[in-house]
Amino acid sequence: MRQLPHMNELQEKYAGKGLHIFTIYAQNHPVEHIRSLVKDKGIKYPLALSWQDEEQRWDMSSLPAVWIIGTDGKIAFTGKGSYEKVLEEQLAKVKYPGLGGVNVTPELESAAKAFAARDYAQALRLAEAAAEKSDASDATLAAAEAISERVADRLKALKNRAEVAEVENAWRLAEATWQVIERRFAKTDEAAEAAARLQKIKENKKAQLEMEAETAIHVLDRDLQFKEAAIEEWIDSYKKFAEKYKESVWAEKVKPAIERMEEDKKAADEEKKKAQK
């Protein structure tokens, strides 16, 4: 809780310089409580609700805790306070986020800045404009081509993610990804296609059901965890969920959990009977 406003400050200060903030909410509060907190604090970065660390790999005895992943993909810091120096050192290595290895010439600085800001449509337009100039140097042509290729790679990865998500009935992810494409490739054919795909998802009753079910199961889990519900209530709640959303893939997804909980309850009941003899 105490860390949230500070993370907002870091997001505003460094978001365009290569910093990506991801947080994990590691307490068991109801979803509505968390939504209210996010709204009240004006949080602008991802806040994940899943917290599964059964093997205790995070090795943190108290919260809040911070991990900084460096430019080389390795953990540069783990702990609590005094991490901003490490953060500054890592960000100093990043001039144009996402363009590592590209020799950006002065003619392409505006394109590189647009790319770093994830305005890929603008980055592509500026790179192409620089390359079309009659006096463009070989270095500028090479850098323009590299930026164009990075833009194409980002688009390909995003479209692949969205399309695979649709096939796998992960409609929430599909919707979010098409929204990213629409925003980062504004005023292009790709943005128009993304808008059309988003409209189809909106009109797709099956997709809407899947998204409703996905939200419902996560809300249910958080509420049951918060109230420390008995296993009987978990089983009953999951069965009601499966019945309500029997037309969704989530009904099948919760069946193994129901079976596992019923087995655990049966084993516990048998142990209780033995203890009473």
Query: Looking at the predicted structure, is the pLDDT value of residue 1 above 70?
Result: no
Mean pLDDT of 64-73: 82
Among 158, 180, 160, CA closest to 168? 160
pLDDT of residue 57: 55
- Does 241 or 30 have the greater pLDDT score? 241
pLDDT of residue 222: 86
**What band does 59 get if pLDDT is binned at 50, 70 and 90?**
low
Interacting residues of 13 by C-beta distance below 8 A, sequence separation 6+: none
- Reply yes or no on domain 3-91 having CATH 3.40.30.10: yes
Question: Which residues share a beta bridge with 79?
Answer: 66
- Spatial separation of the C-alpha atoms in residues 18 and 40, rounded to whole Å: 26
Q: Where are the domains of the chain?
A: 3-91, 106-203, 206-276
Alpha helix stretches (DSSP H) within 54-188: 84-91, 109-116, 120-131, 138-167, 171-184
**pLDDT, tens digit (0-9, with 9 covering 90-100), for 176-191:** 999 999 999 999 999 9
The long-range contacts involving 92-97, CB below 8 angstroms and separated by at least 24 positions, are 94/17, 94/18, 97/17, 97/18
Among 29, 63, 69, CA closest to 49? 29
**What band does 45 get if pLDDT is binned at 50, 70 and 90?**
confident
- Spatial separation of the C-alpha atoms in residues 115 and 148, rounded to whole Å: 10
Query: Looking at the predicted structure, is the pLDDT value of residue 135 above 90?
Result: yes
**pLDDT, tens digit (0-9, with 9 covering 90-100), for 218-254:** 899 989 988 889 999 999 999 999 999 999 999 999 9
pLDDT of residue 83: 84
Query: Looking at the predicted structure, is the pLDDT value of residue 55 above 70?
Result: no
- Spatial separation of the C-alpha atoms in residues 101 and 54, rounded to whole Å: 39
- CB burial of 161-200 (b: ≥16 within 10 Å; e: otherwise) equals bbeebbeebbbbbbbebbebbbebbeebebbeebeebbee
pLDDT of residue 64: 74
pLDDT of residue 85: 87
**pLDDT, tens digit (0-9, with 9 covering 90-100), for 250-273:** 999 999 999 999 999 999 889 888
Output the CA angle 114-119-123, nearest 5 degrees. 50
Mean pLDDT of 127-149: 96
Cβ distance 90 to 19 under 8 Å?
no
Three-state DSSP state, 6: helix
pLDDT of residue 217: 93
pLDDT of residue 169: 92
Cβ distance 65 to 79 under 8 Å?
yes
pLDDT of residue 214: 92
**What band does 61 get if pLDDT is binned at 50, 70 and 90?**
low
Other CB atoms within 10 A of residue 14 CB: 17
- Does 225 or 127 have the greater pLDDT score? 127
| H or E segment to which residue 46 belongs | none
Q: What pTM was computed for the model? A: 0.74
Residue 64: asked if its preceding bond is cis (omega within 30°), the reply is yes
Query: Looking at the predicted structure, is the pLDDT value of residue 3 above 80?
Result: no
